[in-house]
Homo-oligomer: A and B are copies of this chain.
Protein backbone atom coordinates (compact mmCIF):
# COMPACT_ATOMS: atom_id res chain seq x y z
CA UNK A 1 0.00 0.00 0.00
CA UNK A 2 1.26 3.52 -0.73
CA UNK A 3 2.17 5.82 2.12
CA UNK A 4 2.38 9.54 2.70
CA UNK A 5 5.96 10.90 2.56
CA UNK A 6 7.95 11.21 5.78
CA UNK A 7 7.83 14.99 5.59
CA UNK A 8 4.06 15.09 5.42
CA UNK A 9 3.00 12.16 7.53
CA UNK A 10 3.48 14.16 10.73
CA UNK A 11 2.18 17.49 9.47
CA UNK A 12 -1.00 19.04 10.78
CA UNK A 13 -3.03 21.71 9.02
CA UNK A 14 -2.28 25.25 10.19
CA UNK A 15 -4.30 25.93 13.32
CA UNK A 16 -4.92 29.46 12.12
CA UNK A 17 -6.46 28.37 8.87
CA UNK A 18 -8.48 25.70 10.62
CA UNK A 19 -9.70 28.30 13.09
CA UNK A 20 -10.56 30.58 10.16
CA UNK A 21 -13.19 28.01 9.31
CA UNK A 22 -14.71 28.36 12.78
CA UNK A 23 -14.49 32.14 12.72
CA UNK A 24 -16.54 32.26 9.55
CA UNK A 25 -19.46 30.90 11.54
CA UNK A 26 -22.17 33.53 11.79
CA UNK A 27 -22.05 35.68 14.89
CA UNK A 28 -18.42 34.90 15.72
CA UNK A 29 -16.20 37.83 16.67
CA UNK A 30 -13.05 37.21 14.63
CA UNK A 31 -9.92 38.05 16.62
CA UNK A 32 -8.35 34.87 15.23
CA UNK A 33 -7.86 35.77 11.59
CA UNK A 34 -5.06 37.58 9.85
CA UNK A 35 -6.99 39.25 7.08
CA UNK A 36 -6.55 42.91 6.32
CA UNK A 37 -9.51 45.22 6.85
CA UNK A 38 -11.69 44.81 3.76
CA UNK A 39 -12.50 48.54 3.81
CA UNK A 40 -8.80 49.06 3.02
CA UNK A 41 -9.12 47.26 -0.34
CA UNK A 42 -8.94 49.63 -3.34
CA UNK A 43 -12.00 47.99 -4.90
CA UNK A 44 -12.91 50.79 -7.27
CA UNK A 45 -9.36 51.02 -8.55
CA UNK A 46 -9.06 47.28 -9.14
CA UNK A 47 -12.42 47.24 -10.87
CA UNK A 48 -11.39 50.07 -13.18
CA UNK A 49 -7.98 48.55 -13.86
CA UNK A 50 -9.28 45.12 -14.73
CA UNK A 51 -11.88 46.63 -17.05
CA UNK A 52 -9.09 48.54 -18.81
CA UNK A 53 -6.95 45.43 -19.17
CA UNK A 54 -9.77 43.48 -20.79
CA UNK A 55 -10.73 46.48 -22.89
CA UNK A 56 -7.26 47.22 -24.20
CA UNK A 57 -5.52 43.88 -24.54
CA UNK A 58 -7.29 40.88 -23.01
CA UNK A 59 -4.99 38.35 -24.63
CA UNK A 60 -1.98 39.77 -22.83
CA UNK A 61 -3.64 38.95 -19.49
CA UNK A 62 -4.51 35.41 -20.52
CA UNK A 63 -1.35 34.05 -22.17
CA UNK A 64 1.48 32.26 -20.41
CA UNK A 65 3.90 34.54 -18.59
CA UNK A 66 7.53 34.00 -17.69
CA UNK A 67 8.50 32.41 -14.39
CA UNK A 68 10.38 35.48 -13.16
CA UNK A 69 7.25 37.60 -13.36
CA UNK A 70 5.59 40.30 -15.43
CA UNK A 71 8.38 42.55 -16.61
CA UNK A 72 6.66 45.95 -16.15
CA UNK A 73 5.74 45.04 -12.56
CA UNK A 74 9.28 43.91 -11.80
CA UNK A 75 10.63 47.19 -13.14
CA UNK A 76 8.11 49.23 -11.18
CA UNK A 77 8.87 47.40 -7.95
CA UNK A 78 12.58 47.89 -8.44
CA UNK A 79 12.11 51.65 -8.64
CA UNK A 80 9.65 51.68 -5.75
CA UNK A 81 11.92 49.68 -3.46
CA UNK A 82 14.91 51.80 -4.38
CA UNK A 83 13.07 55.03 -3.71
CA UNK A 84 11.11 54.09 -0.58
CA UNK A 85 13.22 51.44 1.08
CA UNK A 86 16.70 52.14 -0.16
CA UNK A 87 16.95 48.58 -1.47
CA UNK A 88 19.04 48.57 -4.64
CA UNK A 89 19.43 45.55 -6.81
CA UNK A 90 19.83 44.35 -10.31
CA UNK A 91 16.71 43.92 -12.48
CA UNK A 92 17.21 40.17 -12.58
CA UNK A 93 17.09 39.89 -8.79
CA UNK A 94 13.36 40.43 -8.32
CA UNK A 95 10.96 37.52 -8.80
CA UNK A 96 7.18 37.76 -8.56
CA UNK A 97 5.54 35.04 -6.46
CA UNK A 98 2.04 33.77 -5.77
CA UNK A 99 1.75 35.32 -2.33
CA UNK A 100 4.38 35.75 0.35
CA UNK A 101 4.31 32.19 1.64
CA UNK A 102 5.64 31.04 -1.71
CA UNK A 103 8.84 33.00 -1.07
CA UNK A 104 9.43 30.94 2.07
CA UNK A 105 8.64 27.78 0.16
CA UNK A 106 10.97 28.52 -2.75
CA UNK A 107 13.77 29.69 -0.44
CA UNK A 108 13.51 26.54 1.65
CA UNK A 109 13.56 24.32 -1.42
CA UNK A 110 16.56 26.09 -2.82
CA UNK A 111 18.59 26.44 0.37
CA UNK A 112 17.89 23.42 2.53
CA UNK A 113 18.13 19.67 2.40
CA UNK A 114 16.12 17.36 4.62
CA UNK A 115 17.19 17.61 8.26
CA UNK A 116 18.90 20.99 7.93
CA UNK A 117 18.17 23.53 10.63
CA UNK A 118 16.29 26.79 10.15
CA UNK A 119 16.69 29.44 12.83
CA UNK A 120 13.58 31.47 13.50
CA UNK A 121 11.96 33.70 16.03
CA UNK A 122 9.86 31.87 18.58
CA UNK A 123 6.95 32.49 18.43
CA UNK A 124 6.66 32.88 14.67
CA UNK A 125 4.15 32.75 11.83
CA UNK A 126 2.72 29.24 11.75
CA UNK A 127 2.40 29.26 7.95
CA UNK A 128 6.14 29.72 7.55
CA UNK A 129 6.99 27.25 10.31
CA UNK A 130 4.80 24.63 8.64
CA UNK A 131 6.40 25.38 5.31
CA UNK A 132 9.87 24.76 6.77
CA UNK A 133 8.60 21.63 8.51
CA UNK A 134 7.11 20.34 5.25
CA UNK A 135 10.59 20.27 3.75
CA UNK A 136 11.94 18.25 6.64
CA UNK A 137 13.74 21.17 8.27
CA UNK A 138 14.47 21.18 11.96
CA UNK A 139 13.27 24.41 13.59
CA UNK A 140 15.53 26.17 16.06
CA UNK A 141 13.61 28.85 17.92
CA UNK A 142 15.15 32.00 19.33
CA UNK A 143 13.27 33.97 21.96
CA UNK A 144 12.07 37.49 21.12
CA UNK A 145 12.48 40.52 23.35
CA UNK A 146 10.37 43.66 23.09
CA UNK A 147 12.74 44.82 20.33
CA UNK A 148 12.85 41.57 18.38
CA UNK A 149 15.00 38.47 18.30
CA UNK A 150 17.41 38.10 21.22
CA UNK A 151 20.81 38.43 19.57
CA UNK A 152 22.81 36.69 22.31
CA UNK A 153 20.52 33.70 21.99
CA UNK A 154 20.67 33.90 18.21
CA UNK A 155 24.46 33.68 18.36
CA UNK A 156 24.20 30.70 20.67
CA UNK A 157 21.68 29.02 18.36
CA UNK A 158 23.98 29.49 15.38
CA UNK A 159 26.90 28.05 17.33
CA UNK A 160 24.93 25.04 18.45
CA UNK A 161 23.47 24.36 15.01
CA UNK A 162 26.20 24.31 12.40
CA UNK A 163 23.71 22.76 9.96
CA UNK A 164 21.56 25.90 10.04
CA UNK A 165 20.96 27.17 6.51
CA UNK A 166 19.18 30.45 7.12
CA UNK A 167 17.71 32.79 9.71
CA UNK A 168 14.00 33.48 9.24
CA UNK A 169 12.85 36.82 10.60
CA UNK A 170 9.76 39.03 10.39
CA UNK A 171 11.44 42.29 11.33
CA UNK A 172 8.40 44.57 11.37
CA UNK A 173 5.38 44.00 13.66
CA UNK A 174 6.20 40.36 13.92
CA UNK A 175 3.48 37.75 13.59
CA UNK A 176 2.41 36.93 16.27
CA UNK A 177 4.76 38.85 18.60
CA UNK A 178 3.94 42.35 17.37
CA UNK A 179 7.56 43.33 18.00
CA UNK A 180 9.83 45.26 15.66
CA UNK A 181 13.49 44.39 15.32
CA UNK A 182 15.55 47.42 16.40
CA UNK A 183 18.11 48.99 14.08
CA UNK A 184 20.97 47.81 16.29
CA UNK A 185 19.65 44.26 16.19
CA UNK A 186 19.19 44.39 12.41
CA UNK A 187 22.83 45.31 12.07
CA UNK A 188 23.90 42.69 14.58
CA UNK A 189 21.87 39.97 12.86
CA UNK A 190 23.34 40.90 9.50
CA UNK A 191 26.90 40.81 10.86
CA UNK A 192 26.30 37.43 12.47
CA UNK A 193 24.86 35.98 9.26
CA UNK A 194 27.80 37.36 7.29
CA UNK A 195 30.35 35.96 9.72
CA UNK A 196 28.70 32.54 9.82
CA UNK A 197 27.84 32.15 6.13
CA UNK A 198 24.10 32.17 6.70
CA UNK A 199 21.31 33.55 4.56
CA UNK A 200 18.72 35.84 6.16
CA UNK A 201 15.16 35.31 4.97
CA UNK A 202 13.56 38.68 5.72
CA UNK A 203 9.79 38.35 5.60
CA UNK A 204 8.17 41.76 5.51
CA UNK A 205 4.44 41.54 4.78
CA UNK A 206 3.50 44.13 7.41
CA UNK A 207 6.26 46.74 7.00
CA UNK A 208 3.98 49.26 5.30
CA UNK A 209 1.35 48.96 8.03
CA UNK A 210 3.23 51.17 10.48
CA UNK A 211 0.90 53.07 12.78
CA UNK A 212 3.42 54.68 15.15
CA UNK A 213 7.15 55.40 15.34
CA UNK A 214 9.66 55.72 12.53
CA UNK A 215 10.40 53.36 9.63
CA UNK A 216 13.54 51.33 10.11
CA UNK A 217 15.82 50.29 7.25
CA UNK A 218 15.28 46.72 6.07
CA UNK A 219 18.10 44.23 6.55
CA UNK A 220 18.12 43.86 2.76
CA UNK A 221 19.09 47.54 2.47
CA UNK A 222 22.32 46.69 4.33
CA UNK A 223 23.03 43.69 2.12
CA UNK A 224 26.41 44.46 0.60
CA UNK A 225 27.31 40.75 0.57
CA UNK A 226 24.23 39.34 -1.18
CA UNK A 227 23.04 37.16 1.69
CA UNK A 228 19.51 38.45 2.27
CA UNK A 229 16.32 37.25 0.58
CA UNK A 230 13.68 39.94 1.05
CA UNK A 231 9.99 39.01 0.80
CA UNK A 232 7.42 41.73 0.19
CA UNK A 233 3.72 41.26 -0.45
CA UNK A 234 0.61 42.97 -1.73
CA UNK A 235 -1.65 40.91 0.49
CA UNK A 236 -1.84 43.55 3.21
CA UNK A 237 -1.58 46.75 1.18
CA UNK A 238 -3.71 45.82 -1.83
CA UNK A 239 -5.60 42.59 -1.14
CA UNK A 240 -4.69 39.03 -0.17
CA UNK A 241 -7.01 37.22 -2.58
CA UNK A 242 -5.03 38.49 -5.52
CA UNK A 243 -1.95 36.45 -4.44
CA UNK A 244 0.86 38.71 -5.62
CA UNK A 245 4.09 39.03 -3.70
CA UNK A 246 7.76 39.30 -4.60
CA UNK A 247 11.21 38.28 -3.54
CA UNK A 248 14.45 40.19 -3.91
CA UNK A 249 17.01 37.42 -4.19
CA UNK A 250 20.83 37.56 -4.21
CA UNK A 251 22.13 37.14 -7.73
CA UNK A 252 23.79 33.76 -7.16
CA UNK A 253 20.52 32.30 -5.84
CA UNK A 254 18.36 33.67 -8.68
CA UNK A 255 18.83 30.76 -11.13
CA UNK A 256 17.85 28.08 -8.60
CA UNK A 257 15.03 30.27 -7.27
CA UNK A 258 13.65 30.73 -10.78
CA UNK A 259 13.69 26.99 -11.44
CA UNK A 260 11.96 26.41 -8.11
CA UNK A 261 9.24 28.85 -9.20
CA UNK A 262 9.02 27.15 -12.59
CA UNK A 263 8.49 23.67 -11.15
CA UNK A 264 6.09 24.95 -8.47
CA UNK A 265 3.48 26.79 -10.54
CA UNK A 266 5.25 27.96 -13.73
CA UNK A 267 4.37 31.61 -13.09
CA UNK A 268 2.04 33.81 -11.07
CA UNK A 269 -1.27 34.70 -12.74
CA UNK A 270 -0.67 37.34 -15.40
CA UNK A 271 -3.94 39.19 -14.80
CA UNK A 272 -3.07 39.40 -11.10
CA UNK A 273 0.34 40.84 -11.87
CA UNK A 274 -1.04 43.28 -14.43
CA UNK A 275 -3.56 44.58 -11.89
CA UNK A 276 -0.77 45.38 -9.43
CA UNK A 277 1.42 46.84 -12.15
CA UNK A 278 -1.28 49.15 -13.40
CA UNK A 279 -2.20 50.08 -9.85
CA UNK A 280 1.24 51.62 -9.56
CA UNK A 281 0.99 53.26 -12.98
CA UNK A 282 -2.40 54.83 -12.49
CA UNK A 283 -2.71 55.49 -8.77
CA UNK A 284 -0.66 56.82 -5.90
CA UNK A 285 0.20 53.65 -4.01
CA UNK A 286 2.11 55.50 -1.31
CA UNK A 287 -0.92 57.71 -0.69
CA UNK A 288 -3.10 54.60 -0.45
CA UNK A 289 -0.72 53.14 2.10
CA UNK A 290 -0.79 56.38 4.07
CA UNK A 291 -4.59 56.26 4.03
CA UNK A 292 -4.96 52.67 5.14
CA UNK A 293 -2.45 53.21 7.94
CA UNK A 294 -5.13 55.45 9.47
CA UNK A 295 -7.57 52.55 9.52
CA UNK A 296 -5.05 50.25 11.18
CA UNK A 297 -3.92 52.92 13.64
CA UNK A 298 -7.49 53.49 14.75
CA UNK A 299 -8.23 49.80 15.19
CA UNK A 300 -4.93 48.95 16.86
CA UNK A 301 -5.37 51.75 19.34
CA UNK A 302 -8.99 50.86 19.91
CA UNK A 303 -8.16 47.27 20.76
CA UNK A 304 -5.25 48.27 22.99
CA UNK A 305 -7.36 50.87 24.78
CA UNK A 306 -10.08 48.28 25.34
CA UNK A 307 -7.56 45.75 26.62
CA UNK A 308 -6.20 48.38 28.99
CA UNK A 309 -9.68 49.23 30.15
CA UNK A 310 -11.25 45.79 30.50
CA UNK A 311 -8.46 43.22 30.72
CA UNK A 312 -5.53 45.00 32.39
CA UNK A 313 -5.84 42.85 35.50
CA UNK A 314 -5.09 39.59 33.69
CA UNK A 315 -3.52 40.45 30.33
CA UNK A 316 -0.14 42.04 29.59
CA UNK A 317 1.10 43.02 26.13
CA UNK A 318 3.48 45.38 24.39
CA UNK A 319 1.63 47.86 22.18
CA UNK A 320 2.85 47.21 18.62
CA UNK A 321 3.81 50.03 16.27
CA UNK A 322 1.90 48.49 13.40
CA UNK A 323 0.93 45.24 11.76
CA UNK A 324 -2.18 43.25 12.45
CA UNK A 325 -1.62 41.48 15.76
CA UNK A 326 -1.40 41.86 19.51
CA UNK A 327 0.43 39.17 21.41
CA UNK A 328 -1.26 39.03 24.75
CA UNK A 329 0.02 37.22 27.81
CA UNK A 330 -2.47 35.79 30.26
CA UNK A 331 -1.53 35.92 33.91
CA UNK A 332 -0.05 32.77 35.42
CA UNK A 333 -2.78 30.69 36.90
CA UNK A 334 -5.07 31.06 33.91
CA UNK A 335 -5.26 27.90 31.80
CA UNK A 336 -4.70 29.42 28.36
CA UNK A 337 -6.30 26.67 26.32
CA UNK A 338 -9.34 26.48 28.56
CA UNK A 339 -9.72 30.23 28.29
CA UNK A 340 -9.59 30.07 24.48
CA UNK A 341 -12.30 27.42 24.50
CA UNK A 342 -14.37 29.45 26.92
CA UNK A 343 -14.06 32.44 24.56
CA UNK A 344 -15.50 30.35 21.72
CA UNK A 345 -18.58 29.81 23.88
CA UNK A 346 -18.81 33.59 24.10
CA UNK A 347 -18.45 33.69 20.30
CA UNK A 348 -15.00 35.25 20.41
CA UNK A 349 -12.31 33.46 18.37
CA UNK A 350 -8.63 33.98 19.22
CA UNK A 351 -5.58 31.87 18.35
CA UNK A 352 -3.91 29.94 21.18
CA UNK A 353 -0.26 30.99 21.39
CA UNK A 354 0.90 27.38 21.19
CA UNK A 355 0.11 27.46 17.45
CA UNK A 356 3.13 29.71 16.94
CA UNK A 357 5.59 27.73 19.01
CA UNK A 358 8.01 25.15 17.70
CA UNK A 359 6.81 22.63 20.24
CA UNK A 360 3.05 23.07 20.18
CA UNK A 361 2.78 20.96 23.31
CA UNK A 362 4.92 23.19 25.54
CA UNK A 363 3.18 25.41 28.10
CA UNK A 364 2.26 28.85 26.77
CA UNK A 365 0.38 31.73 28.36
CA UNK A 366 -0.15 33.72 25.18
CA UNK A 367 -3.01 34.31 22.79
CA UNK A 368 -2.88 36.17 19.48
CA UNK A 369 -5.42 38.89 18.87
CA UNK A 370 -6.13 40.33 15.43
CA UNK A 371 -7.68 43.78 15.22
CA UNK A 372 -7.91 44.23 11.44
CA UNK A 373 -10.68 41.75 10.65
CA UNK A 374 -13.36 42.70 13.24
CA UNK A 375 -15.37 45.92 13.08
CA UNK A 376 -14.70 48.66 15.62
CA UNK A 377 -17.92 47.69 17.33
CA UNK A 378 -16.87 44.06 17.55
CA UNK A 379 -13.44 45.01 18.86
CA UNK A 380 -15.08 46.72 21.84
CA UNK A 381 -17.65 43.98 22.28
CA UNK A 382 -15.10 41.18 21.92
CA UNK A 383 -12.62 42.58 24.42
CA UNK A 384 -15.43 43.13 26.90
CA UNK A 385 -16.42 39.49 26.44
CA UNK A 386 -12.79 38.52 26.99
CA UNK A 387 -13.04 40.06 30.44
CA UNK A 388 -16.43 38.54 31.06
CA UNK A 389 -15.31 35.06 29.99
CA UNK A 390 -12.62 35.02 32.65
CA UNK A 391 -15.04 35.38 35.56
User: How would residues 1 to 34 of chain A score, 1 for a CB under 8 Å from any chain B CB and 0 otherwise?
Assistant: 1101111110111100100110000000000011
User: Smallest CB-CB separation from A34: which chain B residue?
Assistant: B64
Known interface pairs A7-B113, A63-B239; 5 further A-B residue pairs with C-beta atoms within 8 A, sorted by A's residue number = A9-B256, A127-B266, A243-B267, A243-B268, A271-B271
Query: Most B CB atoms within 10 A — which of A51, A54, A241?
Result: A241
* Interface 9-mer from A39-47, A170-178, A318-326, A352-360: A39-47
Contacts of A259 in B (CB 8 A): 8, 11-14, 130, 134
| CB<8 Å pairs between A and B, sample of 16 | A2-B111, A2-B165, A5-B111, A13-B255, A21-B66, A43-B58, A47-B58, A51-B54, A64-B240, A99-B266, A131-B264, A134-B260, A242-B269, A242-B270, A243-B266, A269-B269
A46 and B66 contact, CB distance less than 8 A: no
Per assembly, the copies of the chain total: 2
Contacts of A2 in B (CB 8 A): 111, 165-166, 197-199, 227
Please tell me if A150 contacts chain B, counting CB pairs below 8 Å: no
The 5 closest A-B pairs by CB, nearest first: A62-B239, A47-B54, A241-B270, A43-B58, A131-B263
Question: Whole-angstrom distance between the alpha carbons of A263 and B11 in the complex?
Answer: 11
* Interface 9-mer from A76-84, A101-109, A206-214, A308-316: A101-109
Interface majority SS (helix, strand, loop, mixed), chain A: helix
Q: How large is the interface on A (under 10, 10 to 19, 20 to 34, 35 or more residues)?
A: 35 or more
A263 and B59 contact, CB distance less than 8 A: no
Smallest Cβ distance from A68 to chain B, in angstroms?
Answer: 10
Contacts of A241 in B (CB 8 A): 61-65, 269-271
Please tell me if A301 contacts chain B, counting CB pairs below 8 Å: no
Contacts of A1 in B (CB 8 A): 197
Known: A2-B198, A67-B17, A259-B13. A242 touches B265 (CB 8 A): no
Please tell me if A75 contacts chain B, counting CB pairs below 8 Å: no
Question: Whole-angstrom distance between the alpha carbons of A55 and B50 in the complex?
Answer: 11
A264 and B35 contact, CB distance less than 8 A: no
